[in-house]
Amino acid sequence: MNQRYIKQVNFKGIGIEGQQKLKNAKVLIIGCGALGTVVANSLARAGVGTLRIVDRDFVELSNLHRQILFDEEDAKKGIPKVEAVKEKLQKINSTIKIEALIKDVNSVSIETMIEGIDIIIDCTDNFKTRYLINDVAFYHHIPWIYGAAVGSTGMVKVFIPERTGCLRCMMDIPPTAGSFATCDTAGVINTATGIVGMHQSNEAIKYVTQNIEQIEYRMVYIDLWENEFETMELTKRQDCNCCGQQQYEYLRDKKPEAVYICGNNSIQVDPHHSKGNISLNQINKRLKEAGIDVNLTPFLLSIKIDKYEIKLFDDGRAIIKNVKTIEEAKGVYAKYIGY
């Protein structure tokens, strides 16, 4: 082990004992795109003993500029992202265990995903999943690391139950669907995803090797195009619905987010369960600026993109035509509308 990791072991922050802790660690990576491939690559090379990687999507050509473990052959074959990553990483480090889960992350499935895990790394692209991760992490007392990147900007925040506040301390409820830009509409540069993913990996290594005092507990914000680097203190709130009041509503909400519509080759996605209206005008403007075919009526927003036809209502519900699975429908919703 020492020869393989000799440069890392020689670093005084890790050493032989730290390397053994990495070998014994089990890390859950949720999302296997731009951030997830960077994190998985870094942690596999660092010698983390078990990586459990979850994603429901397949490799596409448009992934390749930023999702560093995929190649043109993967895109041509349409390989599931987690399987492509597992194949690559086992060639990079055959001594570690990689568990590839082609699954949707929801309030039921996430309970099995966290079994035996030391830390969760959020590499997703939607807020609904992040709030679920936050709930399950604080309910089961598992640290997690938030990460996000869009355009030239990125953010990272470490959450540790009993030591820090949680995601809901800084933002009690998720933003409404469509209120935040996504990578598919606003674009993203690979330097931003690279730095965010490596920062997440770095903080995870600190935690696993028990360098707790070296962890950056402030929210880190970067804008690489404008050369901005900031940190922000976040205060734990005693009245927080999650870490203060222990309500965990996103974990306890077992309603399905998507259902098949019989005979119509369509699936209805309702991530908000009609909790509040969204701004169709705002989403219409954002998608139109991205060159997507949209038509706004007084009742709904019609969207045509690739093979999909989407009817989006102001309560957040969307009927998506020409999808075969619930996972595909939720992926389309996240990509073009945003959770």
Q: Concatenated DSSP letters for 39-74?
A: HHHHHHHHT-SEEEEE---B--GGGTTT-TT--HHH
What pLDDT shows up at residue 274? Answer: 44
CA distance 182 to 162: 32
Assess whether 262 and 211 both reside in one domain: no
What pLDDT shows up at residue 178? Answer: 66
Least confident of 159-173, 247-261, 276-290, 296-310: 247-261
Task: Classify residue 161: in a domain, yes or no.
Answer: yes
Task: Classify residue 291: in a domain, yes or no.
Answer: yes
- pLDDT of 177 > 80? The answer is no
Assess whether 270 and 238 both reside in one domain: no
pLDDT 10s digits, 262-314: 556 788 888 765 456 788 999 999 999 999 999 998 778 999 998 999 989 88
Could you tell me which residue, 181 or 73, shows the higher pLDDT? 73
Assess whether 152 and 271 both reside in one domain: no
Q: Please tell me the total number of residues recorded for the chain in this structure.
A: 339
Cβ-Cβ contacts under 8 Å for 265 (sequence gap 6 or more): 321, 322, 323
Assess whether 199 and 286 both reside in one domain: no
220 contacts 214 by C-beta, under 8 angstroms: no
Cβ-Cβ contacts under 8 Å for 40 (sequence gap 6 or more): 29, 32, 51, 53, 69, 85, 89
Q: How confident is the model at residue 322 (pLDDT cuts 50, 70, 90)?
A: very high
Could you tell me what percent of the chain has a pLDDT over 90?
72
- The average confidence (pLDDT) of the chain is 91
Task: Classify residue 1: in a domain, yes or no.
Answer: no
Assign 171 to helix, strand or coil: coil
What pLDDT shows up at residue 2? Answer: 65
Task: Classify residue 39: in a domain, yes or no.
Answer: yes
The last residue of a domain, from among 250, 283, 301: 250
Domain that holds residue 279: 255-336
Assess whether 137 and 273 both reside in one domain: no
Question: Tokens at residue 152, please?
Answer: 């030239």
Domain of 326, CATH number, reads 3.30.310
The sign of the dihedral angle between the CA atoms of 252, 253, 258, 263 is positive
Task: Count how many domains the chain has.
Answer: 2
Assess whether 126 and 235 both reside in one domain: yes
The strand order across the sheet containing 318-321 reads 258-261, 266-269, 318-321, 308-313, 300-305, 293-296
Assess whether 268 and 210 both reside in one domain: no
Task: Classify residue 266: in a domain, yes or no.
Answer: yes
Assess whether 236 and 302 both reside in one domain: no
Domain of 216, CATH number, reads 3.40.50.720
Least confident of 9-18, 112-121, 173-182, 240-249: 173-182
The last residue of a domain, from among 229, 250, 271: 250
What pLDDT shows up at residue 236? Answer: 93
Q: Name the residue among 280, 258, 276 with its Cα closest to residue 267.
A: 258
The last residue of a domain, from among 211, 230, 250: 250
pLDDT 10s digits, 46-67: 999 999 999 978 888 989 999 9
Assess whether 270 and 196 both reside in one domain: no
Using a 10 angstrom Cβ sphere, with 0-12 exposed, 13-18 middle and 19 or more buried, the burial of residue 17 is: exposed
Task: Classify residue 103: in a domain, yes or no.
Answer: yes
Q: How confident is the model at residue 1 (pLDDT cuts 50, 70, 90)?
A: low
Could you tell me which residue, 73 or 128, shows the higher pLDDT? 73
Assess whether 317 and 177 both reside in one domain: no
Residue whose token pair is 């951030």: 35
Q: What is the DSSP letter of 213?
A: G
Q: How confident is the model at residue 37 (pLDDT cuts 50, 70, 90)?
A: very high
Assess whether 106 and 244 both reside in one domain: yes
Assess whether 212 and 113 both reside in one domain: yes
Task: Classify residue 66: in a domain, yes or no.
Answer: yes
What pLDDT shows up at residue 54? Answer: 96
231 contacts 33 by C-beta, under 8 angstroms: no
Task: Give Cα separations from 22 to 1, 10, 15, 163, 195 (angstroms).
Answer: 11, 15, 11, 22, 21
Task: Classify residue 50: in a domain, yes or no.
Answer: yes
pLDDT 10s digits, 188-227: 999 999 999 999 999 999 999 999 999 999 999 999 999 9
pTM for this prediction: 0.82
